[in-house]
Chains A and B, each alone.
Chain A
Amino acid sequence: MIAVRVAPRLLAAMAGHARSTYPDECCGYLIAPAELPPDGVRRIEAVEPADNRFDGERRRRFVILPDELRAAERRAEARGRAVVGFYHSHPDHPARPSPFDEAHAWPWYAYLVLATTATGVPRVGAFELGAETGRFVELPLEPEPDPLSAAPVVRA
């Protein structure tokens, strides 16, 4: 994967989700065809909110339960798509993965991190776990032209 491409309307949907759960973290699925295109650009086709099932302080943690992930995978598969990554918000924290994020990340997936404030415009970072290094690598986030939306999203 060399870049992640996300339409502004999807960024707006994630930002709306993040605002709605603020000050708690939100999380959700990134949906696309499982096969990465030859150019290496992961094009996100849809986002789907998930429930933050962390059993505790949700301002600083999120958890997606395995059976809910399986259900999301089945829903995506039914449409010939796959869960290719996740987004989550960092309320009042930077759009960078935390050590905790890194320790719990999986290779192959795309991770979007949204830095949110109560009212502010979210900043978004895209990351992938290096399969060999076990460390996150930041990826370029390419906005896809989307005439339907003019959502104000600023790159981190």
Chain B
Amino acid sequence: MAKVRVRIPTPLRSFADGRSEISADAATVGDAVEQLMVAHPGLRRHLCAPDGRLRSFVSVYVNDRDMRELEREATPVSDGDEVAIVPAIAGGAPSSVDRANAGAPAPSSGDAFARDELLRYSRHLLLPEVGVAGQKRLRAAKVLVVGAGGLGSPTALYLAAAGVGEIGLVDFDAVDLSNLQRQVLYSTADVGRPKLVAAAERLEGLNPGVKVTPHRTTLSSANALDILRGYDVIVDGTDNFPTRYLVNDAAVLLRKPLVYGSIYRFEGQVSVFDAARGPCYRCLYPEPPPPDLVPSCAEAGVLGVLPGVVGVLQATETVKLVLGIGEPLLGRLLLYDALAMTFRELRLRKNPECVLCGPNATQTGLIDYPAFCGVPPPDAAPAANEPPTISPEELRDELAGPEPPLLIDVREPEEWAIAHLPQARLVPKGQLAERVDELTSAREIVLYCRSGARSGQSARQLLELGFRNVKSLKGGLLAWSDRIDPSVPKY
């Protein structure tokens, strides 16, 4: 005989004098349940069918294992075991077809873990909130990480370490030396290799039990639904607005939870969007900001550890969603400020006017995201209001000629300190409007920045202010370094 505790489910406690458990001396699970019904006879008709056997929708657990996975009522018990009676909740609309199909299906037990897996995941298995059942959920989970960069790196590493069965990665880039300051999936030897090849090696090296599925492509309206469809949870590790809206919209349309993260210089944001249970990204930001107002990490810089913090928070939320434990960041936006070292939380509400997930939603499919965000596709012809550009070769010739242009560097002082052209003057983009009197309309003005994006916007600004002869260096310092002077460092 063993001393065991028999746990009574909440709805039946009124038939057991309000008690939540009793102790019993029993050899088997069947003994223990019988003793419970002897002690509290009112329970019997709720637990047993008229033939005296346990009703099909009454489940009995022994220390978190369904007795149907063990030896049913004959399962032996030992001192200190907990025998818990758990109602299976079932129901449904009237139907003549399957009225006979009563009762809950037994949860599938799945394949057991091998000895080395038990050791690998032992610190998870020790947690009652995870345990063998939770670890099996992780193994059965399929998670898609969109973007294998600063956010995707820590997320994918921790998901692989946690034993998530399949990790899909979407990226088309190659590893660049400038990535290594924060993209911890990659090593110096990986520079120049396709990110997904290097990432798959690293993740499978960390945990050979994980299947890494590479999607070496740019996510687009044409392929997003097909790619996302096969996954249970989507993680947003994108660095641009068109892709972020695309990922959100596809996740809402496919009814998948989306773990959102974004970073800017020293600040990060994290939330969980699931239109079935809360707001979506469009509820938070119905429209993207104008492209001029949002410099990318490449333009604005980012503290290297910042995506580490944010990506690990995203991995945490993903693991919680898979396990179904804790409080997900649904309807909450977590704001992290690395400089102040503060976490703040904003409540998010589902926007009843949301065109995607509101009650009167008008958007039922994917749209043209670059156009929605005001970003022209890379191969588009220049629009009518595009400022004129000058190629690096033309600029080199003009600088060596009789009437060199006025050369303005519109980057930030930190970037100027890394490298600049000797003939240039520094006027950061944000100061341009108030410092126009330093410029002259008598000479041609050439603006440059790192890639040509900010100088293009600045050139447009000067044209609007009435300057006539303004050009932007096409491709910026990156192109200058490639085509004119390789001694100018790229960053």
Report A's interface with B, CB cutoff 8 A: 13, 16-17, 20-21, 25, 27, 34, 49, 53-57, 59-71, 73-75, 82-84, 86, 88, 90-93, 97-101, 103-109, 111, 131, 148
Contacts and interface: CB of A to CB of B under 8 A. Distances in A.
B115 interface: no
B11 A108 contact: yes
B98 interface: yes
Contact of A66 (B87, B95, B326, B350): B87
Q: How large is the interface on B (under 10, 10 to 19, 20 to 34, 35 or more residues)?
A: 35 or more
B93 A60 contact: yes
Interface stretch (B102-110, B336-344, B462-470, B477-485): B102-110
Contacts of B275: 16, 20
A75 B326 contact: yes
Interface string B250-283: 0000010000000000000000000111000000
Kindly name the residue among B92, B95, B102, B105 whose own CB sees the greatest number of chain A CB atoms within 10 A: B92
Contacts of B101: 56, 61
A66 B9 CA distance: 11
B93 A98 contact: yes
A97 B276 contact: no
Interface string B352-364: 0000000100000
B325 A75 contact: yes
A106 B12 contact: yes
A95 B257 CA distance: 29
A69 B10 CA distance: 11
B291 to A, nearest CB: 33
A66 B66 contact: yes
A108 B12 contact: yes
Contact of B91 (A20, A65, A97): A97
Contact of A56 (B46, B98, B276, B349): B98
B276 A17 contact: yes
Contacts of A88: 91-92
Contact of B105 (A20, A59, A63): A63
Contacts of A106: 9, 11-12, 46, 87, 89
Contact of A107 (B14, B89, B98, B133): B14
30 contacts: A16-B275, A16-B276, A27-B89, A54-B90, A60-B92, A60-B98, A61-B98, A63-B89, A63-B90, A63-B105, A65-B107, A66-B61, A66-B86, A67-B61, A69-B86, A70-B61, A71-B324, A73-B10, A75-B327, A88-B92, A98-B92, A100-B92, A104-B91, A104-B102, A105-B91, A106-B11, A106-B87, A108-B12, A109-B11, A148-B349
A60 B102 contact: no
Q: Lowest 9 CB-CB distances: which A-B pairs, in order?
A: A108-B11, A61-B92, A66-B59, A66-B86, A93-B93, A101-B91, A98-B94, A20-B276, A64-B89
B57 interface: yes
Contact of B93 (A56, A73, A86, A91): A91
A55 B133 CA distance: 19
B330 to A, nearest CB: 10
A120 B355 CA distance: 18
B105 A53 contact: yes
A100 B99 contact: yes
A100 to B, nearest CB: 5
Contacts of B64: 67
B88 interface: yes
B433 to A, nearest CB: 42
B383 interface: no
